[in-house]
Structure 1
Amino acid sequence: MSKTRWSCLAITLLAIAHFCNCEEAVLSEKEQDKVSRLPGQDFDVDFAHYSGFVTTNEELGRALFYWFFEATEDPASKPLVLWLNGGPGCSSVGFGEAEEIGPFHIKPDGKTLYLNQYSWNQVANILFLDAPVGVGYSYSNTSSDLLTNGDKRTAKDSLKFLLEWVERFPEYKGREFYIAGESYAGHYIPQLSQAIVKHNQASGENTINLKGYMVGNGLMDDYHDSLGLYQYIWTLGFISDQTYSLLKLKCGLEPFIHTSEVCNKALEIMDMEIGEIDQYSVFTPACVSQSKTLLKKRRVGGFRVSEQYDPCTMKHSKVYFNLQEVQEALHVPPGLAPSKWDTCSDVVSEHWNDSPSSVLDIYHELIDAGLRIWVFSGDADAVVPVTSTRYSIDALNLSTFSPYGPWYIDGQVGGWTQQYDGLNFVTVRGAGHEVPLHRPKEALTLFQAFLSGVSLSTPKNSINSEKSKLMSDS
């Protein structure tokens, strides 16, 4: 069956449900999305999960793919959290679910699953969305849609998705709702949050009861992101003084999307000097073709322990999500399945049409709206490093009301944190661009603190008073 016919079928089912205006029709559509046992799953789980498509534009046939996991315990009492990855053009299913915060992770054979002991659905109901069309399994019957994506339409379609999704899952209407994600989702998340706030104000309803959002290693402002990046890799000794100067001169005011030719040449020199490391996680092994699962060691509670770290998780996802039996289990009909599923779409990223140079103005707007906003940063990321994030936060000119200091987990420093008026900043020590991949336990602790609205603890000492004394003495 063609994509057009499948889309028409989906639209017809929605129309029938709307015409009947009966709970049974809506619930049956939800039940059709329920996922049973997955290929490669040799263990039982104590939560329900669902996957499928939601049409966001019936005329053009745009539909977004989602995968939703109920909380492991008492989902009716837990908030709903939407997770978004960036790119633009990268899959939240391929990254967020399969190697970061989701319950099902993929073994190196690309065919077998294992249960993530630090899955975020232990404390919340987690919804993964592949947006925009052209990402993951999300599709459009209008081929030109893949060439006209951008920030504005992504926010519009994602809002439409949420409004339609809660019709399919009506128990989440008005449920406490949060958004989290990383990287280019540093644009998606505040933009979607802004769209939700405006929709609620216009409608007078809180169908999507947005309470706050959390962004990790996210793009916030092109100038500060660039400045912080070049400074970070220079201070680590990855590039020469000359290249550092060249980058500031040729790329200092460049956007992250569609950089100029002269800036691209400077970036090529940068990459050659950096060498074959994983810039998303600069202190861990890079994925090589013959690489097997590697072991890294770290100290926990004073003892040295081993933990598995696999730098090739993207390769495993590419194998798994291209399996026909996996696509069938996730309710992706043959007529809708892409010819080749990939973690990121070059077509989407290369044809991105609008990307504002900064979203800091949206931060101010949403801080004034009273949303809970947390920004976190893995400090081993050379793509959107901690220096970039700190420059962007400084540019917001927010007042601070807590001392800057460490937070602890298992007796060790997990990172550092600073509370601002309207925003909480947290670093995660030793984590790369994908914080939950490199520091899963710390990431879950961070997420729990965010949901509770309580800042991660710092030592009970007189940091502020000592600072004040030193400043007055000087």
Structure 2
Amino acid sequence: MFLFLPQGVVLRQSQEPKEVWGYVQVRSKAHMFWWLYYANHPTKDFTELPLILWLQGGPGASGCGFGNFEEIGPLDKEMKPRNTTWLQAASILFVDNPVGTGFSYVDDCSLFAKNLTTVVSDMMVFLGEFFRCRTEFQTVPFYIFSESYGGKMAAGIALELHEAVQKGTIKCNFMGTALGDSWISPLDSVLSWGPYLYSTSLLDDNGLAEVTAVAKEIMDAINKNQYGLATELWGKAEGVIEENTDNVNFYNIMTKEVPEMKSNEQENLHLIGLYQRHVKNMHKDSLNELMNGPIRKKLKIIPDCVKWGGQSRDVFENMAEDFMKPVIYIVDQLLAANVNVTVYNGQLDLIVDTMGQEAWIRKLKWPNLDQFSQQRWKALYVSPESTETAAFHKAYENFAFFWILKAGHMVNNILLGVPSDQGEMALKMVRMVTQQQH
């Protein structure tokens, strides 16, 4: 079932983007919500600009909510225009996935995705329906951009989509994927936490020893394929880091986390802590009120029984066994298939720090890795007039890396009021990745 309603089309003024939204039933009793904004360029039609699918992390964080109103959509959560919206460079398709995220929902609790395979197959159903119904986008260059756990999903979706396009089962002009602060190799991230925090004076020798010890526990669990245990130990490791750093913020080391009250529930406390830190954090009161209030009224199609974010914890917990599994091999397959792959990372991110990203990249079996590594990176500036280095960039054939300076986990977002927003640099990167700018 594909749902397009007349009230889903909004075109108020020429300056404001046209938008449509709806649901796709990706499996029986599993409903995926999407929200599309057409590009908003002063001189170009949307058909002259690419289409970007945005995938949020978590798993369980909402692209239609957080990605849209906190990061790259046309309006912020105060409903004010965003100067650095990506709509200046592309049309944006937000999708609440996996099912149960945001306004997406399942009618039966057994239907939550438990692994990447299900996440990918659901998205293939969605994309097949989307491009079948929105034929105007079939020839537009299509890119998948992602953040955090969304990057792991993006890698799997990109490979499956590439194969579907080759077979002719989905008609679209797929051009590549961009993995932002992405959870591609959880172990490489975990092993780099201690050295990164130590090098930035956020751990002393004793703290480094404690973080290193719990990282080794995680490594042992992963080496024994005990992925559920590894996820629990990951929660323990974050607790050790918080104790030793006075609650450093995992999304931006320049600030600190305000500790949550401890849960009284007799459940896995580490898993609850992980959910609160990495998913519930993206359902703050102001955004929650916006999505379940004015936005819900505007959309008009959200079922009465569905609350935005109401099933997000279920989404996160059902994916716990899959969470720590690496997908470096999928990136290798993408590169071998000649799919364009971009990695971008914020300098101040801890949860997926740049050291960890570089570590898994060194493990790629891609034949051109040596040539990529030998390239000298180039400094990037937000404008010709700027003298401040905003990022570094390196590329070889179909692989590229952006080191975004003064940015945290959300490259396009001011996190907790810290003035590290690199929205202009993020927009420049989008134009470079989509071949609108060199």
Q: TM-score range by the shorter chain?
A: 0.7 to 0.9
TM-aligned CA distance change 1:260 to 1:195, over 3 Å: closer
What is aligned with 1:277?
248
Task: Specify the code of the residue in structure 1 equivalent to 2:388.
Answer: Q
What is aligned with 1:307?
none
TM, length-normalised to structure 1: 0.76
What is aligned with 2:349?
381
TM-aligned CA distance change 1:118 to 1:134, over 3 Å: same
What is aligned with 2:8?
33
CA distance in 1, matches of 2:229, 2:22: 33
CA distance in 1, matches of 2:329, 2:282: 37
Q: Is 1:248 aligned to residue 215 of structure 2?
A: yes
- 1:222 touches 1:253 (CA, 8 Å); kept in 2? no
Q: Where does 1:171-320 land on structure 2 (aligned, <5 Å)?
A: 171-203=136-168, 207-239=171-203, 240-254=207-221, 259=230, 264-284=235-255, 314-320=284-290
Aligned-pair CA distance for 1:49: 0.7
TM-aligned CA distance change 1:170 to 1:154, over 3 Å: same
TM-aligned CA distance change 1:202 to 1:262, over 3 Å: closer
From 402, 405, 412, give the equivalent of 2:375.
402
What fraction of aligned residue pairs are identical, expressed as a percent? 23
Aligned-pair CA distance for 1:160: 0.8
TM-aligned CA distance change 1:258 to 1:164, over 3 Å: farther
What SS does structure 2 have at the residue aligned with 1:157? helix
Task: Specify the code of the residue in structure 2 equivalent to 1:274.
Answer: T
What is aligned with 1:440?
423
What SS does structure 1 have at the residue aligned with 2:254? coil
What SS does structure 1 have at the residue aligned with 2:230? coil
From 330, 345, 357, give the equivalent of 2:325.
357
Task: Specify the code of the residue in structure 2 equivalent to 1:386.
Answer: T
Q: Is 1:90 aligned to residue 65 of structure 2?
A: no
CA distance in 2, matches of 1:131, 1:439: 26
Aligned-pair CA distance for 1:211: 0.7
Task: Specify the code of the residue in structure 2 equivalent to 1:34.
Answer: V
- 1:55 touches 1:61 (CA, 8 Å); kept in 2? yes
What SS does structure 1 have at the residue aligned with 2:240? helix
What SS does structure 2 have at the residue aligned with 1:252? helix
Per-residue deviation, residues 394-415 of structure 1 (Å, max 9, x unmatched): 1115122631242222221012
Per-residue deviation, residues 230-264 of structure 1 (Å, max 9, x unmatched): 32123223231321331332223455865265564
CA distance in 1, matches of 2:149, 2:191: 17
Aligned-pair CA distance for 1:344: 8.2
Task: Specify the code of the residue in structure 1 equivalent to 2:38.
Answer: E
- 1:30 touches 1:168 (CA, 8 Å); kept in 2? no
Aligned-pair CA distance for 1:356: 6.8
CA distance in 2, matches of 1:185, 1:95: 13
Q: Is 1:78 aligned to residue 52 of structure 2?
A: no
CA distance in 2, matches of 1:313, 1:115: 21
- 2:191 touches 2:212 (CA, 8 Å); kept in 1? no
Q: Using the TM superposition, name which of 193-202 and 63-72 deviates more.
A: 193-202
CA distance in 2, matches of 1:261, 1:130: 25
- 1:281 touches 1:433 (CA, 8 Å); kept in 2? yes
Q: Using the TM superposition, name which of 238-247 and 428-437 deviates more.
A: 238-247
Per-residue deviation, residues 338-367 of structure 1 (Å, max 9, x unmatched): 2xx239822111121535722111112111
CA distance in 1, matches of 2:323, 2:241: 24
- 1:152 touches 1:354 (CA, 8 Å); kept in 2? no
CA distance in 1, matches of 2:437, 2:228: 35
Per-residue deviation, residues 314-343 of structure 1 (Å, max 9, x unmatched): 4321110111x42131233343532xx239
CA distance in 1, matches of 2:335, 2:49: 24
What is aligned with 1:328?
297
Aligned-pair CA distance for 1:96: 1.1
Aligned-pair CA distance for 1:36: 6.1
CA distance in 2, matches of 1:344, 1:420: 41
CA distance in 2, matches of 1:385, 1:379: 7
What SS does structure 2 have at the residue aligned with 1:114? coil
Q: Which runs of 5+ in 1 are unaligned?
A: 1-10, 15-25, 38-42, 108-112, 290-310, 456-474
CA distance in 2, matches of 1:343, 1:403: 47
What is aligned with 1:414?
390
What is aligned with 2:314?
347
Task: Specify the code of the residue in structure 2 equivalent to 1:65.
Answer: F
- 1:222 touches 1:254 (CA, 8 Å); kept in 2? no
CA distance in 2, matches of 1:370, 1:105: 36
What SS does structure 1 have at the residue aligned with 2:201? coil
Alignment root-mean-square deviation, CA? 2.7
Aligned-pair CA distance for 1:446: 0.9
What SS does structure 1 have at the residue aligned with 2:76? strand
Task: Specify the code of the residue in structure 1 equivalent to 2:104.
Answer: S
CA distance in 1, matches of 2:116, 2:329: 15
Q: Where does 1:139-150 land on structure 2 (aligned, <5 Å)?
A: 139-146=105-112, 148-150=113-115
Q: Is 1:168 aligned to residue 133 of structure 2?
A: yes
- 2:152 touches 2:182 (CA, 8 Å); kept in 1? yes
What is aligned with 2:404?
428
CA distance in 2, matches of 1:281, 1:252: 24
Task: Specify the code of the residue in structure 2 equivalent to 1:33.
Answer: G
TM-aligned CA distance change 1:440 to 1:343, over 3 Å: farther
From 331, 334, 340, give the equivalent of 1:372.
340
CA distance in 2, matches of 1:47, 1:314: 26
CA distance in 2, matches of 1:405, 1:254: 39
CA distance in 1, matches of 2:143, 2:9: 23
Task: Specify the code of the residue in structure 2 equivalent to 1:145.
Answer: L
Task: Specify the code of the residue in structure 2 equivalent to 1:316.
Answer: S
Task: Specify the code of the residue in structure 2 equivalent to 1:67.
Answer: W
What is aligned with 2:25?
55
Task: Specify the code of the residue in structure 2 equivalent to 1:106.
Answer: K
Task: Specify the code of the residue in structure 2 equivalent to 1:103.
Answer: P
What SS does structure 2 have at the residue aligned with 1:259? helix
CA distance in 2, matches of 1:257, 1:82: 30
TM, length-normalised to structure 2: 0.82
Aligned-pair CA distance for 1:222: 2.7
Q: Using the TM superposition, name which of 211-220 and 44-53 deviates more.
A: 44-53
- 2:103 touches 2:302 (CA, 8 Å); kept in 1? no
- 1:223 touches 1:254 (CA, 8 Å); kept in 2? no
Task: Specify the code of the residue in structure 1 equivalent to 2:195.
Answer: Q
What is aligned with 1:104?
75
